[in-house]
Structure 1
């Protein structure tokens, strides 16, 4: 049943933001919250090299020690994960969530999320994982793989929570972004948010009619909504609008062939996500 807010946490600086945004989403959607920690127990690639050219007895002894080290490392990783999950649950309870749940799995994050996709309504994930904490310009490879493989809305979040009040929808009239407008119009997640719709392109009748549809859909659902068609390069145009209007959450389609929908598979969205200091809701 696709009703859980699934929050993927690790040891990175983004985990507190993941906790707080996930708690906000859980409360707004009246959906159960589950924290997920995945222990990736891939074998060390150096092991075979270390045992290659030594005597049989020494090699067997070394392999035994390596196996013991792997077992200890796995136990430590699991224990660290349990502590992180407990801390996340306590933080969510402090945020007002009554009974957050937690899961710990062995494997890879992408495979685990694919297995849990059927019960996931919204995935909340940090921009980068614990392996990339120092590189502020890096977009975590896990995030890119997750977006490519998952068919659920994904909320990529910064390290610090700010309650969303002004939402920017990057709209191009595509099926994905039209579904996004309809979702936002109906979703309790954005009930009290001011909605901004921006189309990037020339001021043409077709674009104007699509923008009018988006604005009327949002207004009929009770939202304060405004929008514009702006000429220019997508990334720069959206960033300028975000700064002008004090936007605190961006909504965009994850895939496609138009100038906005191309974002994640092309340099435009990858660059936007790398530079983003606000949460981004990616739609499929």
Structure 2
């Protein structure tokens, strides 16, 4: 059965990730795999204190350092289990019937690849464990996942709000066409109000491009309307999200136009930081 992979790190975004994951899973009738990954060095001392003490150090001190590292590792594992149990409680409360918990150690991307075969989508928070201390910094794993994922990546905002209005950034590129087709085929977008935006210097041409995408969505009985704006896409998108009460921003991860640069590269960070709503990325 298809599953949604929720990546959890115990940050302030983890609860929102769970609520958004539940929303998607119920739309798709999918199971949820909640995963927490312990880094290879997690639980270990930040520096190898024992290395500086080997020459002439008393064995008792080395044993204490070793015991301290072991205790840190145990605490990190216990924390990981607690994060996953909290996630399961939220997902259960939100009505997800099948939730599997997975604690892994090692590289995050390797852990994702292990279970990629039947993963329908990945959910992750915009920022990681340091979110409360560095509000302008995106999660360090986010771009790595977006670059390598073969399934949609749902980037959750800090708070969950019901999703009804969706802004779709469209530029006519191959990836944005794939995004439109997958949206047309997906139960996630049933009963939602979609606005397909194309931004560029020629408003008439932009409208024609947006209308092509809307026609495909409407053919699949998805409620959608076209919109064209002049200006820089990142500025237009940020303004519309702020002013018009959209609940979700959808983009293709690669494209041939300006919108492509929002996703991978310097503008990705800027865009995802700027908007205060979730972002769904398609490749």
- Which residue in the other structure is 1:189 paired with? 188
1:130 match: secondary structure = coil
TM-score, scaled relative to structure 2: 0.92
Structure 1 distance, partners of 2:65, 2:57, is 14
Asked if the contact 1:41/1:106 (under 8 Å) is kept, the reply is yes
Farther off after superposition, 175-184 or 234-243: 234-243
> Which structure 2 residues correspond to residues 78-117 of structure 1 after superposition, within 5 A?
78-117=77-116
Q: CA RMSD in A?
A: 1.9
Match of 1:55 in 2: 55
Indicate the residue corresponding to 1:180 in structure 2. 179
CA contact (8 A) 1:172 1:199 kept: yes
Output one character per residue of 1:107-150: Cα deviation in whole Å (capped at 9) or x when no partner: 12232113222221110100111133321111111111111222
8 Å CA contact 1:137–1:275 kept in 2: the answer is: no
**Offset from partner CA, 1:94-115 (integer Å, 9 cap, x none):** 1111121111111122321132
Query: Which deviations, in whole Å up to 9, do the C-alpha atoms of 1:207-246 show, x marking residues without a partner?
Result: 4433221111111222221122211111111112223331
**Cα distance in 2 between the residues matched to 1:256 and 1:187:** 21
State the partner residue of 2:253.
254
User: Secondary structure of the residue that 1:195 maps to in structure 2?
Assistant: strand
1:222-281 per-position Cα deviation (integer Å, ceiling 9, x unaligned): 222112221111111111222333111000122344200122333222201112210000
Secondary structure of residue in 2 paired with 1:269 = helix
Query: What corresponds to 1:7 in structure 2?
Result: 6
Partner of 1:150: 149
User: In 2, distance between residues paired with 1:185 and 1:233?
Assistant: 27
Say which SS state the counterpart of residue 104 (structure 1) adopts: strand
Q: Which runs of 5+ in 2 are unaligned?
A: none
Q: Is the CA contact (8 Å cut-off) linking 1:252 and 1:281 kept in structure 2?
A: yes
Instruction: Quote the Cα distance in structure 1 between the aligned partners of 2:70 and 2:256.
Output: 46
Aligned residues of 2:207 and 2:226 also touching (Cα < 8 A): no
What stretches of structure 1 of length at least 5 have no aligned partner?
none
Q: Give me the whole-angstrom Cα distance separating, in 2, the residues matched to 1:160 and 1:103.
A: 24
Q: Report 1:1-284 matches (<5 A).
A: 3-42=2-41, 43-47=44-48, 51-52=51-52, 55-58=55-58, 60-203=59-202, 207-284=206-283
- Structure 1 residue 206, shift from structure 2 partner: 5.1
Q: Give the secondary-structure state (helix, strand or coil) at the position aligned to 1:5.
A: strand
Distance (whole Å) between structure 1 residues aligned to residue 210 and residue 274 of structure 2: 27
Q: How far apart, in 2, do the equivalents of 1:161 and 1:35 lie?
A: 17
Instruction: Note if contact 1:114-1:149 (Cα within 8 Å) is conserved in structure 2.
Output: no
The answer on whether the counterparts of 2:196 and 2:226 sit within 8 Å (CA) in structure 1 is: yes
* Equivalent pairs, count: 281
